[in-house]
Amino acid sequence: MSDSDARLFAGRYRAVRRLGAGGTATVFLARDERLEREVAVKRLHGAEVTAETALRLQREARIMASLRHPNLVTVFDMVTDADDLLLIMEYVQGRTLAEVFACGPLEWERTLALLTPVAAALDEVHRDGVVHRDLKPSNILVASNGVVKVADLGLATAAEITRITPPGAILGTPAYMAPEQARPGRCTQAVDIYALATIAFEALSGARPRAGRTVLAILAQATQEPPADLRMHRPGTPGAVAEALMRGMSSDPQDRQTSASQLLAELAAGFEAGGGDRAAAATRVHQLERSRPSAPERPSPRPASAPATPRRRRNRRARVLAVTALTAAVATVGGVVAVLAGGQPAPSGGDATPTAHAQATPSGSPAATPSAGRTPTPSASPPAESPTATPPAPRTLSATATVRAFYRRAAAGDYDGAWRLAGPAMRRAFSNSSQRFRAELSSLRHIEIERVAVVERNGAGATVEIRSVATHDNRVDHCSGTLRTVRGDGGRWLVEPAGLQCTSAR
């Protein structure tokens, strides 16, 4: 087929431009010269269409063309053109759900708004005995006017009929496939419910529930391991929501919801009964912190008169800050970079609450600013030792637990709690403004801490190595390096910048 001939499919559809391509098909925007309308033409390469399979394709085409739903991309026809099979479909201008997910986890209201129309479309085709079999974010379209439509219905069937894939090949996308799709036998609507639950999990967590190097490895996880628990990826998720998703992703089709709409209804009821998940996340983080035992890594308190050890200056750009693990917006701090990246450690003993923070005087000694109704912080001279003058030391978090708590509180929306764990230098990065801290961290939705460990201890504090993945509204930050922890009031640890570097992916 020459290039000029390829621009006119089946003597009727004039190609306008290519919209995309995959391993077995290419999609074109085309003009139907007979009906004078725009259509999407999906050309499946190398289809083996015999007289027998042609009859089955015609039967399938009639079924697909008979399906009408506002949230379903209409299949107009299936035709053969030389060695190619063409699926002629409604053209939808917009973006895919996969592109929406690239911006990070979604709020539950947005997730339900996007997936409820998908569930309605699936229920409609299931009533007609049709199973999608390859539901995934890339074939769910969000039109420019906001309407959500399910695409590629019948594509898996067409590929199977025309033997595009080798005998015994698994049809579908592994990350969203139900385990029974790897076994011989007819697929039921339960495979689409499994895929929808997986998509909902990804929307709410920003990550797929399963991963692996091969199709079989991914499907083995679905068969041999329990379904992923959203609460491990999104703290504060109501239990009913996590359980509904685990039911939907069960390895046994009989355990799944009986319809796609039932799955979405259970998710909606779970979130509404739980009052959302943001406030619950903060409570859960505090509970985790209280239950975690303190590690025996705490160094002996440094005397107040001990001199601070200067750190060598680092010529780093503004993103080389501890706070870059939370937000790229701190790069606007500008003038404080030299202090954060190469200044001296802040002296311990300064209060770290929003109303009473330690401020450096020209001489470098701390000056206490008392808040109303609060006893002023003593001067640098320690009180005389006496059994009655020293109150019992409160139970404090370890250095590593403090770092974890700092990040988790911010990710859970507990900005005041995170601010209380910020040391003087960290606070100066935000102009000593808790409101600015809150505003610049508001895009953070989830953080996964892959490693946190004390690598150095001295009289001034502890250096903590950390590796994390922070998911924001519009990007994902991969961060590694070190933070500094110093002593605050009551011997508790406070988090300070040191040498953390982040790379962002959008």
Mean pLDDT of the chain: 73
Return d(Cα 224, Cα 112) in angstroms, integer: 29
The model's pLDDT over 473-494, given as tens digits with 9 standing for 90+, comes to 778 888 888 888 998 877 788 9
418 backbone dihedrals φ, ψ, rounded to 5°: -65, -40
Q: Which residues are catalytic?
A: 134
High-pLDDT (> 90) share of the chain, %: 27
State the pLDDT at residue 328: 39
Q: Which position has the token pair 């689409």?
A: 192
Per the model's pLDDT, the better-predicted residue between 311 and 252 turns out to be 252
Return d(Cα 179, Cα 163) in angstroms, integer: 22
Return d(Cα 290, Cα 247) in angstroms, integer: 31
Contact status, residue 419 vs residue 407, Cβ threshold 8 Å? no
Check the CA dihedral 280-284-287-289 and report its sign: negative
Count other Cβ atoms within 10 Å, centred on residue 177.
Answer: 26
The model's pLDDT over 200-224, given as tens digits with 9 standing for 90+, comes to 999 999 998 887 666 666 767 777 7
Report CA dihedral (354, 355, 356, 359) to the nearest 10 degrees: 70
Strand duo 476-487 + 444-458: pairing: unpaired
State the pLDDT at residue 212: 66
Residues present in the chain in total: 506
Could you give the domains of the chain?
Answer: 3-90 (3.30.200.20), 94-280 (1.10.510.10), 322-361+396-505 (3.10.450.100)
State the pLDDT confidence band at 297, using cuts at 50, 70 and 90.
Answer: very low
State the pLDDT at residue 256: 95
Flag whether pLDDT at 189 surpasses 50.
yes
Return d(Cα 119, Cα 259) in angstroms, integer: 8
Count other Cβ atoms within 10 Å, centred on residue 61.
Answer: 19
Q: Per-residue pLDDT averaged across 193-204, rounded?
A: 96
Residue 187 Cα to chain centre, angstroms: 30
Coil, strand or helix at 452:
strand
Flag whether pLDDT at 150 surpasses 90.
yes
Selection from 88, 32, 28 nearest residue 61 by Cα? 88
Flag whether pLDDT at 100 surpasses 90.
yes
Selection from 384, 380, 403, 428 nearest residue 492 by Cα? 403
pTM over 0.75: no
**111-125, 152-166, 212-226, 486-500: which range is least confident on average?**
152-166
State the pLDDT confidence band at 355, using cuts at 50, 70 and 90.
Answer: very low
State the pLDDT at residue 67: 85
Flag whether pLDDT at 106 surpasses 90.
yes
**47-56, 372-381, 467-476: which range is least confident on average?**
372-381
High-pLDDT (> 70) share of the chain, %: 66
Return d(Cα 488, Cα 291) in angstroms, integer: 21
Return d(Cα 316, Cα 318) in angstroms, integer: 7
